[in-house]
Amino acid sequence: MHVDIIHHYPPELMELLIDTIPLLCRSKPDVLLFFRGAGVSQRLMSDLAERVRTHRKNIGKYEIARVVLTRLNDKGETTLRQRREIVKRVVEFEDFSACWPSDQLKAQGLVSNVGKVVNVKDSFTRMRQERDKERQERIQVKQKEAEAARNRRGELAKLKRELFALFVEPDPHKRGKALEGALNRLFQASGMLVREAFTRSSGSGAGVVEQIDGVVEVDGNPYLVEMKWHKKPLGPDVLAQHLVRVFSRADVGAIFISESGYTPAGIEQCREALPSKTVVLATLQEIVRVLEEDKSLRDLLKHKIVAASVHKEPFHDPFAAGQL
Integer-rounded Cα Rg, in Å, for the chain is 39
Please tell me what DSSP assigns to residue 316: -
> Which pLDDT tens digits describe the chain residue by residue (324 residues)?
444 454 578 888 899 999 999 999 999 999 999 999 999 999 999 999 999 999 989 999 999 999 999 999 888 888 888 988 898 899 889 889 989 999 999 999 999 998 888 776 654 455 456 666 778 888 888 888 888 888 877 888 888 888 888 887 888 888 888 888 888 888 888 888 888 776 665 555 554 457 788 899 999 999 999 989 888 999 999 999 889 989 989 899 999 999 999 999 999 999 999 999 999 999 999 998 998 888 889 999 999 999 999 999 999 999 999 998
Instruction: Enter the CATH code of domain 172-311.
Output: 3.40.1350.10
Which pLDDT value is given to residue 46? 95
- pLDDT at residue 161, as a whole number: 84
Check the CA dihedral 93-98-99-104 and report its sign. positive
CA–CA dist 170, 174 (Å, integer): 8
Start-end of H helices in the chain:
11-24, 28-37, 42-54, 61-74, 80-91, 104-166, 172-189, 236-247, 264-273, 284-292, 297-311
User: What pLDDT shows up at residue 173?
Assistant: 81
pLDDT of res. 163 = 81
State residue 1's pLDDT score.
45
Q: How far is CA 317 from the centre of its chain?
A: 36
Query: What pLDDT shows up at residue 203?
Result: 54
pLDDT, residue 109, reads 94
3-state secondary structure of 306: helix
pTM: 0.54
